[in-house]
Amino acid sequence: MTTNKRHELITILAEQENQYISGQALSDMLHVSRTAIWKHINELKKDGYQFESVPNKGYRLIAKSNILNESTIKWGLNTNWLGQAIEYRKEVPSTQDLAHELARKGAAHGTVVTAERQVAGRGRMDRRFVSDHDGGIWMSLILRPNIPPYQASQMTLFVAVTLVDVLERITNQSIKIKWPNDLFINGKKLAGILTEMQAELETIQYLVIGFGINVNQGKQDFPKDLQEKTTSLGMEADYKWDKLMLIQEILQEFELAYDHYLQSGFANVKEKWLKHAYKLNETIQIATPKEEYTAIVKGITDDGALIVENSEQERKTIYSAEIKW
Ligand code: BTN
């Protein structure tokens, strides 16, 4: 039986809620033999699903899986195009690198690459991104948007506000976006986003949007030098989050928000970004290769640059600089 049939099978069983459904009914609905159904139920059990089977009544799903893999992510995932293809690995150097490799080979728009651990996770400006622990969500999405390359920088802001929307809704925490694209809770880093693009002058071939979210790590799970600067959803709420549920919620909300953004433009994204901006109207220290000064954070431009105001009330646009937050 193919993975698709298996997906259909688990979907049917989940929709039955507490009702039993007979092996015969399942075999009729899926056009496979009863033996195939039985074999597949056994495979699903190995994936962490729990069933009750009663002679003459059939099967009933009693607990969904909390094991992460390609099929458990797909089961119950309510999306049209995002995550139709999922590449799941226990361990990779970097989901970002794997996503680039797959995209070069023609992977479809909406392909999701995720891993339990990354041993060479990358952050912006080629910095390391610590993600060798299975407590986090490490994920890269392959997107093939029909937008000009200059607009890609908006996508980064779009991803930040979308993640904030989902995570605030589910966890009830207040999350800030630190320019350009870190998510912060209570002054500590929760998540990082990395947008990379393969493009020609006028067209984007593909984007790889990577994000890493600290979910269930404890303080000791971070290297010593990061322990005071980093946090996780679990540490903030003193709760062990269901990563599978979070992944599905993120993908569902991402797809809706993405379609909406492409149809209706950037204004809504920018407004949300500003509502969550870290240190908006507060003073920060800026060091560019040319100068160092203090300035007040005022907002962002439509291409995602930071607007600050110096002590002479002059406004400046910052594209990349070292900022002492
Ligand atoms: C940053 O903090 O500078 C951005 C971090 C981006 C991390 C994600 S985790 C999934 C994907 N794979 C990587 O190697 N990096 C991104």
Give the model confidence (pLDDT) of 55-75 as tens digits: 999 999 998 888 899 988 987
Pair (30, 168) in one structural domain: no
Pair (217, 296) in one structural domain: no
In the predicted structure, residue 250 carries a pLDDT above the cut 60? yes
Pair (91, 120) in one structural domain: yes
Q: Using a 6 Å cutoff on CB, does residue 184 contact ligand 1? A: no
In the predicted structure, residue 292 carries a pLDDT above the cut 60? yes
Distance (angstroms) between ligand 1 centre and the Cα of 270 equals 22
pLDDT class of 2 with cuts at 50, 70, 90? low
**Substitution candidate for ligand 1 out of 100, 211, 213 with most atoms within 8 A of CB:** 211
Pair (153, 245) in one structural domain: yes
Pair (131, 110) in one structural domain: yes
Instruction: Note down the domain range covering 291.
Output: 283-324
pLDDT class of 16 with cuts at 50, 70, 90? confident
Q: How many domains does the chain have?
A: 3
**Substitution candidate for ligand 1 out of 131, 137, 195 with most atoms within 8 A of CB:** 131
Distance (angstroms) between ligand 1 centre and the Cα of 165 equals 19
Pair (250, 167) in one structural domain: yes
Distance (angstroms) between ligand 1 centre and the Cα of 69 equals 20
pLDDT class of 11 with cuts at 50, 70, 90? confident
In the predicted structure, residue 17 carries a pLDDT above the cut 90? no
Provide the percentage of residues in the chain whose pLDDT is more than 70: 99
Structure confidence at residue 290 (pLDDT): 85
In the predicted structure, residue 3 carries a pLDDT above the cut 70? no
Pair (142, 222) in one structural domain: yes
Q: Using a 6 Å cutoff on CB, does residue 140 contact ligand 1? A: yes
Structure confidence at residue 6 (pLDDT): 80
- Where does a domain end: 241, 258, 275? 275
CATH of the domain at 136: 3.30.930.10
CA distances from 29 to 11, 20, 25, 84, 176 (A): 12, 15, 6, 22, 48
Residue nearest (by alpha carbon) to ligand 1 atom 11:
210
pLDDT class of 320 with cuts at 50, 70, 90? confident
